[in-house]
Amino acid sequence: MLETNRYQRQVLFVPIGETGQTKLSQSHVLIVGAGALGSSSAEALTRAGIGQLTLIDRDYVEESNLQRQQLFSETDMKQKTPKAIAARQRLAEVNHHVQIHAIVGDAEVDILRKVVPEADLIIDATDNFETRLILNDIAQKYQKPWIYGAVVASYGITFTVLPDKTPCLQCLQAYIPAYGATCDSVGIIQPVVQKVVSHQVTEALKLLTGNEADLSGKLISFDLWKNAHTEIDIAALRKKDCPSCSENRSYPNLAYESRMKTTKLCGRNTVQLRSQRKSTDLSEVAKELQKNKQIKLFQNPYLLSFEIDSYRVVLFQDGRTLVHGTMDQQEAKKIYHRYLG
């Protein structure tokens, strides 16, 4: 039984109506990441009356999150509450009808294999490219639509991937900014989050209420500060030989060998990471890192090294990275994604 008053304004909206509202109440969305994008889309879907939400996030709430991660409070920060748990608490206050599943952990292949089949669609709210590649392949494998979204500084980008219908992230890689810039290196303003989430949640509502014909079909990117907006029609960009979505697909990002490898270096306070990105343009990375004045940078023809807080990070051309200053593999990964995307 729908609470007609609660959702009345949304039901009045013709493309949704009573039928769409009922479909929403029976839908299950997986949101990967409960940071800025994740908390904002989770709140929007919770208010819209989604049936179930699953949230995955590995972090806890920190002070620097409060500027843009709308579900979290100073109390969450003081208690170092895991983001997925803090989000669930807040969302339950917003709409107690929604079933919320909170998973505190890395969005790794094994966890995603369990939760993706249960979901009707996936919203990408992660902060790193490795996870998005995994998400891309697993969504194809289980035939689930997923909505890419990324933000940094005043820039945002989003598109919707429909298995076997649209190009996937692998197909569109050339249209996505190269890695290097992250919210921790060049910062972020909050409105850019809302704009990407507006697109992501609207696309989700279209899909879940049976309005697939209204999907945008575009890769949308914008820079709010520079007043720039670009739309690329993606229909023709599907690659015939794509390893993730073509007929001869192999889902390379789900293979154990291609996942990011971390190794503790014996006797040293150092973790080595091996990324699945084949080659690294170190000068591109350096250019992005230079924007953060707190980072001390050093570069020679073979490697790039930078210091931040108590860590020293060294990147090699072959995709290897050393994180000095920790023995903890999860912490090393976090530092890697924080500054290198």
Residues that bind Zn ion (CB under 5 A): 168, 170-171, 242, 244-245
Tokens matching residue 199: 């697109």
The CB-of-175 to Zn ion minimum distance in angstroms stands at 12
96 Cβ partners below 8 Å, 6+ apart? none
User: CB-wise, 172 or 273, nearer to Zn ion?
Assistant: 172
The phi and psi torsions of 228 (rounded to 5 degrees) equal -115, 145
Q: Which is nearer to Zn ion, 220 or 245 (CB)?
A: 245
Identify which of residues 135 and 168 has a Cβ nearer to Zn ion in the complex. Answer: 168
Angle ∠(38,42,43) on CA atoms, nearest 5: 120
Dihedral angle of Cα 128, 134, 136, 137, to the nearest 10 degrees? 170
Strand spans (E) along the chain: 28-32, 52-57, 99-104, 121-124, 146-152, 155-161, 218-223, 228-233, 261-265, 270-274, 296-299, 303-308, 311-316, 320-324
Cβ 243 to Zn ion shortest distance, Å: 8
Q: Rounded to whole angstroms, how far apart are CA atoms 126 and 206?
A: 22
Q: Which residues contact 38 (CB under 8 A, 6 or more apart)?
A: 31, 32, 55, 57, 83, 87, 123, 125
Cβ-based nearer residue to Zn ion, 164 or 281: 164
Closer CB to Zn ion, 16 or 245, in the complex: 245
**147 vs 301: CA distance, rounded Å:** 38
Least separation in angstroms between CB 170 and Zn ion = 4
Interacting residues of 130 by C-beta distance below 8 A, sequence separation 6+:
259, 260, 275, 276, 337
What's the min distance (Å) between Cβ of 168 and Zn ion?
3
Specify whether 183 is catalytic. Answer: yes
Q: Which residue's CB is nearer to Zn ion, number 217 or number 325?
A: 217
Rounded Cα distance between 217 and 36, Å, is: 24
Q: How many CB atoms lie within 10 A of CB 241?
A: 9
DSSP string, 236-247: GG--TT-TTTST
Task: Provide, rounded to whole angstroms, the least separation between the CB of residue 233 and Zn ion.
Answer: 16
Q: How far is the CB of 203 from Zn ion (least distance, A)?
A: 18
Which listed residue (168, 171, 183, 242) is catalytic?
183
- Residue numbers annotated as active site: 183
